[in-house]
Structure 1
Amino acid sequence: MTMKVAVITDSGSDIYTQNVHLEGLFRVPFQVIDGDKVYLDGETITIDQTYRLIYDGRNLTTSLPPIGMVDELFENLKAQGYDMIFAVVIASALSSTLSALAASAQRQDLLFDFVDCHAIMINELHLAISARKLFDKGFSVEEVKRRCNKSIKDSMTFVIPKDLKQLQKSGRITPMAAALGGFLNLKPLLKISVETGGKVDAFEKVRTMGKAFEIMVQYFKDQNVDKDCLITVAHVWDAQTGRQLMDIMKENFPQTEIIFTDLVSVIGCHTGLGAVGAQYIRRVELD
């Protein structure tokens, strides 16, 4: 008898903003924390409202989806006849969401499997949607993982904070490093990929956004990004700079679908306003 598999992703995939609804694809929100107030990312607070709080000087933090909400969802899925949870969530190096989902599935006596996307945002969402479509076509868990992992290995996410202040506030870098970076007017070009184990790591340090854009474009070209890939350009309350990067990507990759969106809150809360980013992934083979 064929297993009934539920695919789970989180708000770090931008699924709320993209308004994706597929039968058998479920989502859980990260928590956005403002002092003693706790919001559910995408449900009780939008990305735009989150960045408004940052603009107003609030020191926001983020946390994994509420355990009680996950338990309730999995209990309902079991009641609906699902046998397995297949998780496609934010990189495990960035959050303990994956382990929390696994523990919840165990409590509900549900089978559990996953792919570690080593990514965020639309790359993560593309993998979740593709997994759902592959299961609907009758592919095995092993084959779904193989195809997703093949695409994960051919992907990259770049993020460029406007400055280092918010990274210092969130504890991602030391005060001395932030001060030195500001003094030298350096912008860190950060990367998230299989190579970094899904962690945020420095790719290069540059003095201008223009130079960072050149480096990203060249990297994408070196990886032979083409019509079989998907590119995302994102920003944190800086649509003008985001559009500049979008135009550059369109000019250099005219055959590739490019999505323009807000950078998800779980990253933007740490990079701060003015950050921009770009990512690509080679599409999952669905046939």
Structure 2
Amino acid sequence: MKIAIVTDSNSGISEYEAQKWGIYVLPMPVIIEDNIYFEGKNMTQKLFYDSLMSGKRVSTSQPSPGDVVNLWESILNNGCDEIVYIPMSSGLSNSYNTASGLALDYKGRVEVVNNHRISVTQKQSVIEAVRLSRNNYSASDIKKLLEKNAYESSIYIAVNTLKYLKKGGRITPAAAAISSALNIKPVLTIQGGKLDAFSVSRGMNKCKKKMIEAIRNDINLRFSGVDNTLIKIGAAGSFLDDEMAVKWKNEVSAAFENIEITYDPLACSIGCHVGPDAIGIGVSKVVDLS
């Protein structure tokens, strides 16, 4: 059977990567004032953060049911037997619930994965789905394996400015003012799809060390005994300067010399909350087929 792997742009998968791996990426809508853009299409990182920093009303939304169904129909009408759809975590958006309802009309031809992931860890799930499909797993089996492995991941994000957390109501104005005055930067974590506080540090350099230490603890404790070939680490960020992105990736690579490190920009749905120059890192365990 021919299986198509579909995800959304919260995975950070570029158009080049999608073509290379033979997958489909549904762009997430981004609303600036009253205009709708689509991430990875006519919405660039520069346009997004320029709009955010200039004080424009910026928000993200889930794909419309029509856009989801139109993509599925196009795929199924062009020679594919089944679809595995991997949207962003159900803990961060209604995308999964909406897609699950739509999939009922396809009588098992579309399997929607409750992935509990976003950004670099969601991307790793997509890569896993491609690998499983090439090993002749059915769409149903791929869904089961990815959901069984969904919580085997962590993301940590250091926030350079508290402006957008305050704007979104995730931190009080008083706490934001005190933290800014003391140069205190929060480190957030995404575990199982929910964005929570993890720790605080003075300055971004200490945040970097804290996040690398957290990833190392995950590897040594949560993934104890797991071979390094089954551990994937992805650096991420909302950097306005490309050199800062390269520097962060190199720092992570130096900290984990035996693990290949990738880098991807943070998705707009995260960027709305953390703002520019946030630093992220994620770790996940690969589905073991042995």
Task: Tell me if structure 2 keeps the 8 A contact 1:133–1:286.
Answer: no
Task: Choose from 176, 191, 216 the match for 2:211.
Answer: 216
1:129-144 map, 5 Å: 129-141=127-139, 143-144=141-142
What corresponds to 2:286 in structure 1?
Answer: 283
Root mean square deviation, CA, Å: 2.6
Shift of 1:142: 5.3
Classify 1:253/1:18 alpha carbon distance in 2 versus 1 (closer, same or farther; 3 Å). farther
How far, CA to CA, are the matches of 1:96 and 1:21 in structure 2? Answer: 27
Matched residue SS, 1:223: helix
Q: Give the share of equivalent positions with the same residue, in percent.
A: 30
Deviations 1:229-285 (A, max 9, x none): 222212212445444432332222111111123222221122111211111112333
What corresponds to 1:96 in structure 2?
Answer: 94
What corresponds to 1:67 in structure 2?
Answer: 65
1:273 paired to 2:276: yes
How far, CA to CA, are the matches of 2:42 and 2:54 in structure 1? Answer: 18
Matched residue SS, 1:200: strand
Task: Tell me if structure 2 keeps the 8 A contact 1:159–1:275.
Answer: yes
Deviations 1:185-233 (A, max 9, x none): 3211101123xxx110011111222222222222222233734322221
Matched residue SS, 1:21: helix
Report the AA paired with residue 190 of structure 1.
Answer: L
Matched residue SS, 1:153: coil
Where structure 1 has 5 or more consecutive residues not aligned to the other structure, the ranges are none
What corresponds to 1:164 in structure 2?
Answer: 162
Shift of 1:14: 1.0
1:1-287 map, 5 Å: 4-16=2-14, 19-21=17-19, 25-80=23-78, 82-107=80-105, 111-141=109-139, 143-149=141-147, 151-194=149-192, 198-224=193-219, 226-236=228-238, 237-285=240-288
Question: How many residue pairs end up in the alignment?
Answer: 282
How far, CA to CA, are the matches of 1:106 and 1:154 in structure 2? Answer: 28
How far, CA to CA, are the matches of 1:170 and 1:193 in structure 2? Answer: 20
Q: TM-score, normalised by structure 2?
A: 0.85
Task: Tell me if structure 1 keeps the 8 A contact 2:29–2:38.
Answer: yes
Q: TM-score, normalised by structure 1?
A: 0.86
Matched residue SS, 1:205: strand
How far, CA to CA, are the matches of 1:132 and 1:191 in structure 2? Answer: 27
Shift of 1:64: 0.5
Deviations 1:130-183 (A, max 9, x none): 213312321244542454345433321111111210122234434344334324
Task: Tell me if structure 2 keeps the 8 A contact 1:78–1:110.
Answer: no
Report the AA paired with residue 99 of structure 1.
Answer: N
How far, CA to CA, are the matches of 1:36 and 1:89 in structure 2? Answer: 25
Matched residue SS, 1:131: helix
